[in-house]
Structure 1
Amino acid sequence: MKILVLGTGGTIASARTEMGYKATLGVDEVLQLAGIEKRDGFEVETRDVLNLDSTLLQPEDWEVIGRAVFEAFSEYDGIVITHGTDTLAYTSSALSFILRNPPVPVVLTGSMLPITEPGSDAPRNLRTALTFAQKGFPGIYVAFMDKIMLGTRVSKVHSLGLNAFQSINYPDVAYVKGGELLIRHRPRVFGKGEPEFDPPVDPNVVHLRLTPGLSPEVFLKISEAVDGIVLEGYGAGGIPYRGRDLLSAVSRTASQKPVVMTTQALHGGVDLTKYEVGRRALEAGVIPAYDMTKEATLVKLMWALGHTKEVENVRRIMTTNIAGELSIEKERLG
């Protein structure tokens, strides 16, 4: 069995510098410091794709990483990607959309403490990722603190704590204990056939957080400069129209460009049929994100716009469960 470990930088590959922690180590050095080598009947090969703090990663880098993964499918039984934690959930979502029908497990992982620091969580997370890459099933996943989570369902929920990631509105896929893989939920398989590399993304998308007093004029100015908007609303979703009539501004925009509503709440998702303010948003043309994470919503909109600029086509893509990012059944969408 052959496992490929791709390095992209991040805290896991960082060391102290005069300016603070910086990604300076190659993936070979990371594995060596973690005490991981060819063992237990499987072979580990490595390749550095990038070496950056994940704050610096751009949507174009998703294609670079995705291409490296795609080209490795025929040679390896599993793939692990070491990645910085700050944008890991965006990358795991992006790979879930641009890599169709992955034939092997692809597992992203990282650490909250650099591999160079005492007590680093890097060895633990790497071993979890490697275990699932060997014994798991095809798809895009994230390994962190003994958990395996679906790539389109993770969010970083803590800026410093070791248990920094959660699976949102979806069960953990598996756990690794003592080197043993314990399956808890096997995700549904989406799509059939040969692996496909489908990378077009349009990064000209903005994520706006709805706040009391948000100016309709500001919203319209921003909407002129972008191809799509993710509007992060309150609770189950809705748009204010009293006082400052943001709803009218959103309605004007939504007829020409996709406006997708997610929620500031971590769990539960958006239901624009629940309240009057939500139903008005639906009538204005807003596309509900349902129970997608904020990261998956943004990335999916970029990916959709990379394929089409027609609002109704984008709506169809956004409300179709492509890689496990939606729980709601298709017949209920609308």
Structure 2
Amino acid sequence: MSNVYVLYTGGTIGCIGKPLAPMPASQFAQLVASMPGLAQGQVAGLDVPIQFTIEPYTVGGQVQTLDSSNMNPADWVNIAIQLAANYAKYDGFVVLHGTDTMGFTASALSFLLQGLSKPVILTGSQIPLSSTLNDALPNLVGAITLAGKQPALAEVCIYFDSLLLRGNRAVKVNANQFAAFNSPNYPPLATVGTIPTVNTALLLPI
């Protein structure tokens, strides 16, 4: 069984209420556990279940829950430090992040975390997980599944609306559709449908 570390920095995926406001990581983890197939920190229904752990983003020991518009270069460094501190304990990593600056964070992490031998996948959503109609659940499950089941993937990526994109090639292209990200000058590394289809020829070597 693979084990995936999920770093919750905030963003729309973890918002609730009107107007939307980010929920604490502990409340978000409880909401995730109530989703079908995600109880007890596992992605069920796979040939081999994936264990995952959700932890909050911290700065100097203080929990930070940020809208992506508040992300800055210091946060990029702190996210990289938090992932590096847990690197030896997990098989893959997912960073939950707001969409507006996700592309910038992914690009920065691709340079801060060079020489990876494990996947680091950023994802989020256009609609919160707390809403009945949302893109949050498929994005979360898809990102965790790829992070836990694709050992040949050893780079920073963005997963959104069934597409896995190279992190430093991805850009937000739509604020209203679920297909919010694309990589206009580079093909997707993988597409998730009934089964994940990985374009192994495009992956960075381990």
Q: TM-score, normalised by structure 1?
A: 0.54
1:22 aligns with 2:21: yes
Q: 1:115 aligns to what?
A: 129
Contact kept in structure 2, 1:14 and 1:25, CA below 8 Å: no
Does structure 1 residue 140 correspond to structure 2 residue 139?
Answer: no
Contact 2:50 2:145 in 1 (8 A): no
Q: What is the Cα-based RMSD across aligned positions, in Å?
A: 1.7
| 3-state DSSP of counterpart to 1:74 | helix
- Matched ranges for 1:99-248 at <5 A: 99-136=113-150, 137-178=153-194, 180-189=195-204
Structure 1 runs, 4 residues or longer, greater than 4 Å off: none
- Report the equivalent of 1:264: none
Identity of aligned residues (%): 31
RCO higher in 1 or 2 (8 Å CA, sep ≥ 6)?
2
* Structure 1 Cα separation of the partners of residues 67 and 187 of structure 2: 29
Structure 2 CA distance for partners of 1:30 and 1:118, relative to 1, 3 Å: same
TM-score by length of 2: 0.85
Instruction: Give the residue type in structure 2 aligned to 1:22.
Output: A
Mapped to 2, the partners of 1:177 and 1:75 lie a distance apart of 29
Corresponding position of 1:83? 97
Question: Residue 4 of structure 1 aligns to which amino acid in structure 2?
Answer: Y
How far apart are 1:84 and its partner, in Å?
0.5
How many residue pairs get aligned? The number is 188
Deviations 1:263-304 (A, max 9, x none): xxxxxxxxxxxxxxxxxxxxxxxxxxxxxxxxxxxxxxxxxx
Residues 163 and 30 from structure 1, CA distance in 2 versus in 1: closer, same or farther, beyond 3 angstroms? farther
* Offset, 1:102: 1.2
Q: Which ranges in structure 2 are unaligned for 5 or more consecutive residues?
A: 58-63
Distance in structure 1 (CA, Å) of the matches to 2:91 and 2:10: 23
Q: Measure how far apart 1:186 and its partner are.
A: 3.7
Deviation at 1:22, TM superposition (A): 1.6
Structure 1 residues 128 and 56: alpha-carbon distance in aligned structure 2, compared to 1, 3 A threshold:
same
Structure 1 stretches lacking a partner, 5+ long: 193-334
Once residues 133 and 94 of structure 2 are traced to their aligned partners in structure 1, the CA distance between those partners, rounded to angstroms, is 22
Q: Give yes or no for contact 1:12–1:30 (8 Å, CA) kept in 2.
A: no
**Cα separation, 2, equivalents of 1:33 and 1:119:** 15
Deviation at 1:46, TM superposition (A): 1.7
**Partner SS, residue 79 of structure 2:** helix
Give the counterpart letter for 1:141 in structure 2.
C
Relative to structure 2, which stretch is displaced further, 38-47 or 85-94?
38-47
Q: CA deviation at 1:167?
A: 1.2
Matched-pair contact (CA < 8 Å) for 1:172–1:185: no
